[in-house]
A and B are shown apart, each in its own frame.
Chain A
Amino acid sequence: MKQHNLHGSVLAVLFLAFFVMPEYHDGVFARIMVLAVYAVGYNLLFGYTGLLSLGHALFFATGMYGLALPMQHLDMGPVPAFLTGLAAAAMMSLAVGFLALRTTGVAFMIVTLMFAQAGFLTILYFGEYTRGDEGFVIQQADRMIAGLDFSDPTTRYFAAFCIFAAAFLFIAWLMRTSFGKCLVAIRENEDRARMLGYDVQLHKLLSITLSGVISGASGAAYAFLFGYAGATFASVQYSILPLLWVLLGGAGTTIGPLIGTAFAFYLVDFSSEITDAHLLVVGAAIVLLTLFAPQGLAGELRRRLFAWLP
């Protein structure tokens, strides 16, 4: 019950925030909510299943280009393009999962990193279509569904809100199902879960695929709502960022990804005013978190104050 109240309150605050916050922060928060979906997807694999991927940018970018390329080159409408993005991300994560899950631990981290790097380079290689690092803009005229202009800040904010709410509630629901609870069991003690009769490999594969689809949905939504697709989003940095967000907010908690993404965004925002080297803050945050608060903000809250925090 407390959990339902918490999730309801978080969404209500996000909904109402639009009317209260200054316009600048509405824009920032639209971006945070879309990227928090990415963090939610990452959290499913890392926080709940205990698999540390260093290559999620591949899934984010697959969703992004899965939407952007057909819109740009095939004149596909936004809705089918979005579904194309999701399908592409699903296939990509299924394929990567199928191969990478033959390894564990450090090897899994490196394999996912290498697949993502290959994906990034592939985007550069096909620069003719992707325009490489420079990327390309999706025209405002194309960013319309049923007469609604998704480049408009208000529409964009609530579109971002809807997709975040969907991902957030989906994970909150999933983690109450026996499937979700089995993922946690695998994270806690893989061998025991297997010896209770669970098909550990299958659960991991489904987890990485779902995680990839959610990450891909975030990438597709980002391209559509902010009208841009570029190779940067496939780079190593974008594989590291969701890890940072989830670590910061609290791995294996429902609200951690949102908290972490928002916190990191404002941290970088704040430090960019002081220095160009804002990645320094990202790096320092990662090191300090690993050293002193491996459970993240929500994790520390749960440990110290609210044991019931989902």
Chain B
Amino acid sequence: MTLLSTQGLTKSFGGLHAVRNVDFNLPEGQIRALIGPNGAGKSTFVGTVIGRLRASSGDVLFDGRSISHLPAHRRIGLGIAYTFQITSVFERLSVHENVALGVRRSGGSDTETEPRVRQALSRTGLLDRADSHAGDLSYGHQRLLEIAMGLGQNPRLFIMDEPTQGLSESEIAEFKSLIRSLAGDTTILLIEHNMNVVMETADIVTVLNFGEVLAEGSPAEIRADRLVQDAYFGTVSGA
């Protein structure tokens, strides 16, 4: 069944349509990559889905219900997790507390939440750094922490905005295996620049260009698509 869908979603700033009339369907359990050249409207699209931005028109449905009228925190309360494009963690709090904040929101005593915190930390390999301040972590570890914070929320839909940006090759390899280990449990919407990551993790790829859906299909189909090649691969060298 479809977990997330948008119908005619449009977001304009002034006269500029950053997202134009997007119909989008994401079935439960799928790993979906959202790609497109810079300025294609990926982050804006996700922003309107999660409620950081108010859509100009159109509807967002989660689990069959319209969530367009809900503020961001309520949408997240329904079981959506979101990681920021620009790393955003609680720098002066411990790594453990960063994750615990995400776990605790859904309620439960410390004894109930603690195993979930530890699980999220160990899946991201941060368990031995649990007591460090988040601000003291390396950049790569902070990005992992973002993912751990999302995992701790036990989301039904996990939206990640460029999670591999700035990561080293080995960190990217770890990230890919982490995503694959989530396959099946969690529905994932991944905004990604790194085509390797997209090709190896995504079930289906959606390509945005100038705020509109240009193409949608399996990684292999997308790779073969002429339109996509013109719009996207042509502009990105060495991808």
Chains A and B come from one and the same complex:
yes
Beta-carbon nearest neighbor of A192 in chain B: B88
Q: Mark A105-141, 1 if CB is under 8 A from B, else 0.
A: 0000000000000000000000000000000000000
B19 within 8 A of A: no
**Contacting residues, chain B, for A152 (C-beta < 8 A):** none
Residues 182-214 of chain A, each 1 if its beta carbon lies under 8 Å from chain B, else 0 = 101100110111111111100000000000000
Q: Taking the complex as formed, is B91 at the interface, i.e. its CB lies under 8 A from any CB of chain A?
A: yes
Contact of B104 among A181, A191, A192, A195 (CB under 8 A): A181
- B197: interface (CB < 8 Å): no
Q: Does A178 contact B (CB under 8 A)?
A: yes
Decide if A197 touches B91 in the complex (CB within 8 Å).
Answer: no
Chain B residues near A178: list those with CB within 8 A: 104-105, 107
Q: What number of A-B contacts does a CB cutoff of 8 Å give?
A: 57
One of B71, B73, B88, B105 near A189 (C-beta < 8 A): B88
Residues of B within 8 A of A195 (CB): 50, 52, 72-73, 76, 82, 84, 88
> Would A197 and B105 be within 8 Å (CB), given that A181-B97, A192-B84 are in contact?
yes
Contact residues in A for B71 (Cβ distance below 8 Å): 199
Cβ-defined contact, A194 with B90, below 8 A: no
Q: Is B101 in contact with A182, judged by CB distance below 8 angstroms?
A: yes
Q: By the criterion CB–CB under 8 Å, are B93 and A188 in contact?
A: yes
Q: How many residues of B contact A (CB 8 A)?
A: 25
Alpha-carbon separation in the docked complex, A188 to B90 (Å): 6
Q: Is B153 an interface residue (CB 8 A)?
A: yes
Q: Does B102 contact A (CB under 8 A)?
A: yes
- Decide if B234 is an interface residue (CB 8 Å cutoff): no
Say yes or no: B90 contacts A199, CB within 8 Å. no
Q: Which of B47-99 contact A (CB under 8 A)?
A: 50, 52, 71-74, 76-77, 82, 84, 88-93, 97
Interface residues of B in 189-222 (CB under 8 A from A): none
User: Could you tell me the distance between the alpha carbons of A195 and B85 in the complex, rounded to whole angstroms?
Assistant: 13
Q: Is B120 an interface residue (CB 8 A)?
A: no
Residues from chain A with a CB closer than 8 A to the CB of B107 are 178
In the complex, residue of chain A having the shortest beta-carbon distance to the beta carbon of B100: A181
Q: Name A179's closest neighbour in chain B (CB-CB).
A: B104
Expressed in whole angstroms, the Cα–Cα distance for A193 and B97 within the complex equals: 12
Q: Mark A150-189, 1 if CB is under 8 A from B, else 0.
A: 0000000000000000000000000000100110110011
Whether A198 lies near B105 (C-beta < 8 A) is: yes
* Other-chain contact of B153, A189, A191, A196 (Cβ < 8 Å): A196
Task: Report yes or no: B72 in contact with A196, Cβ–Cβ below 8 A.
Answer: no
- Name the CB-closest residue of B to A200: B73
A182-B101, A189-B91 given; name 5 further pairs at CB < 8 Å.
Answer: A184-B93, A192-B88, A197-B76, A197-B105, A199-B71
Chain B interface residues (CB < 8 Å from chain A):
50, 52, 71-74, 76-77, 82, 84, 88-93, 97, 100-102, 104-105, 107, 149, 153
Closest 10 CB pairs of A and B: A197-B76, A188-B90, A178-B104, A197-B77, A192-B88, A196-B102, A197-B105, A199-B73, A197-B73, A185-B101
Residues of A within 8 A of B (CB): 178, 181-182, 184-185, 188-189, 191-200
Sample of 23 A–B contacts (CB below 8 Å):
A181-B97, A181-B101, A182-B101, A182-B104, A185-B93, A188-B93, A189-B90, A192-B84, A192-B90, A194-B72, A194-B73, A195-B52, A195-B73, A195-B82, A195-B88, A196-B102, A196-B149, A197-B77, A197-B102, A197-B105, A199-B71, A199-B74, A200-B73
